[in-house]
Structure 1
Amino acid sequence: MMKSNSHIYTPVQPFVKQPEEAVVYREFLPDLPLQEYIYCYWQLKTTRPLTAPFHYRVVADGCMDIFFELHDPRQSFVMGFSDAYTSFPLEGSFNYVGIRFLPGMFPRLFRLNAAEISKQVISLEDVAPAVTRFLQDCFHAEMSEQQLKSLLDGFLRDHIAQKMSPADNRLLEAVDLIVRHSGVISLEKELPPGISSRQLRRLFEFYIGDTPKVFSKVVRFQKILQSTHSPEHIRRNKSYLDAGYYDQAHFIREFKTLYGLTPAKVFGK
């Protein structure tokens, strides 16, 4: 897990290597000034052609991602906020590179209503054609991690300086409250000053892609995901109750929806 020094939210995307280690996944940080907006860059690639399909699981993390195929940067996409895991079947050889934006940042950078692409993967060309052209013109399959980082850093620094829309402090405060309380909070009782629950819901839908309640659910799940405890430890100490779940069945059901596997399979027996 990587942690940005400038933000308290550290979304986890776990990765299980294939037995043959034919697929590798890695994350690397952008320049420090960009870490207020971008959690990480990532790369998912094969070390040799696959002999069987590989199902890449993306768990719910509250973020939005741009990703593209380094062998053919015309294949570029945006993945919106999701309240469930997503599985991508991949075959043959591939080399995907991605940019994971912290919650609420992508719509500020690209003037997009996040709710319009929530729970979807769409073509980047439909959202940010200038980024699509940049990827097509500047990227190729043989690039090193440092070359990828340098190009992405430079483009995003310029884009932020020219295109970044101002933040709504009420939204930022609400997101901060949810993250600091690990998703276990009643925003109706702790609303930022000068905003109603209806106004806050509209802000969350526009900048995050869903309601404060759903975002809180994802943050709560992410906090549990960072735990190194076994299912036995979680059951014995009933730590799922401290995390805001009603009971063990609620915890298991929600975890499976957001991850695609039960806690026992994820944390080990």
Structure 2
Amino acid sequence: MEYLTFQPQADLDSLVKCYWTLEIPNGNHFERQRIIPDGCIEMAFILGDDIKRYTSKDDFILQPRAMIIGQMTEPFYIEPTGYVNTFAIRFYPYGIANFVTLPIENLANKETPIEQLFGEKTAKELEHKIIQSTNTQERIQIIEAFLLEKFSEKSTVDTIVKTTIDAIMSANGTISINSILEEDLTKRRQLERKFLKQIGISPKKLGKIIRLQTALKMILKRQSTNLTQIAYESEYFDQAHFIKDFKEFTGINPKKFLNNEKMTVSSLFYSEK
């Protein structure tokens, strides 16, 4: 199994967090993999065999070969059907809104085929170029040219949204929205409307996801196995609040997180963030 990340060029590095590839040879058996929210939106191209995404215990759909994975507020399960070869773009929370016109809240908690965002002709041309490329660097050049062209067609995200996200991320999700708005509560409703349209979830929900990332990194890097210490260093009110948020976004108790085979892929992603 090989997971690699690549940094974007300077013109896109405020919007694109990274490009990543995941390759798993055929024959490597994996149980269903639990994918957990990380506050980012991704554009992904499946270059290998199909990947199942479970909609219930026994029912599943096949993920689109070229898709946008919107903001997730709950864990979901995927399962490779064979050879895994994926190329993806991981956007910062406010990144994708600079390239599409569809309200971002319409993308939340699901996969959306890219033709629904960019039109069938444009999407098919982009997908064909990505598939025909012989290496990751070529794919990055193709996607960056595409994004820069789309960026020139779109206005940027509202300043109030970007400022709020920057504050949330700088504080690892621990700052309150009232503090960011300097107690000007008249701005809160406006901010929440713009957040849903341009980010896909509320500022409070994004803050909870970002704060959980701090705790996840500590667990994955085995900096501590003491839940009280993890809760304290992640600035949760107490251990109970930490466990409640952990279960909400991962669907699993933190004590069971590390040795759960269904967390192999998510653990790989989070260890690199």
SS of the aligned residue for 2:177 comes to: coil
Residue 40 (str. 1) matches residue 18 (str. 2): yes
Displacement of 1:51 after TM fit? 5.7
Aligned to 1:186: 176
Aligned to 1:14: none
Do 2:105 and 2:201's aligned partners in 1 also have CA atoms closer than 8 Å?
yes
Instruction: State the identity %.
Output: 26
Aligned to 2:210: 219
Q: TM-score, normalised by structure 1?
A: 0.79
Do 1:81 and 1:119's aligned partners in 2 also have CA atoms closer than 8 Å?
yes
Do 2:215 and 2:230's aligned partners in 1 also have CA atoms closer than 8 Å?
no
Do 1:70 and 1:141's aligned partners in 2 also have CA atoms closer than 8 Å?
no
CA offsets 1:189-214 (integer angstroms, 9 cap, x no match): 43167961100110111111111110
Aligned to 2:225: 231
Q: TM-score, normalised by structure 2?
A: 0.78
SS of the aligned residue for 1:36 comes to: coil
CA offsets 1:194-243 (integer angstroms, 9 cap, x no match): 961100110111111111110110110112223232222x43xx341353
Displacement of 1:61 after TM fit? 1.1
1:96 aligned to 70, 75, 86, which one? 86
Aligned to 1:166: 156
Do 2:7 and 2:13's aligned partners in 1 also have CA atoms closer than 8 Å?
yes
Q: CA RMSD in A?
A: 2.6
Displacement of 1:188 after TM fit? 2.0
Aligned to 1:70: 47
1:156 aligned to 134, 147, 150, which one? 147
Displacement of 1:76 after TM fit? 0.9
Do 1:170 and 1:195's aligned partners in 2 also have CA atoms closer than 8 Å?
no
Displacement of 1:148 after TM fit? 1.7
CA offsets 1:6-56 (integer angstroms, 9 cap, x no match): xxxxxxxxxxxxxxxxx3322211212211111111112222x22635534
Aligned to 1:31: 9
Do 1:72 and 1:140's aligned partners in 2 also have CA atoms closer than 8 Å?
no
Give structure 1 regions of 4+ aligned residues with deviation exceeding 6 angstroms.
none
Aligned to 1:241: 232
Cα distance in structure 1, aligned partners of 2:84 and 2:172 = 35
- Flag structure 2 segments of 5+ consecutive residues without an equivalent: 51-63, 260-273
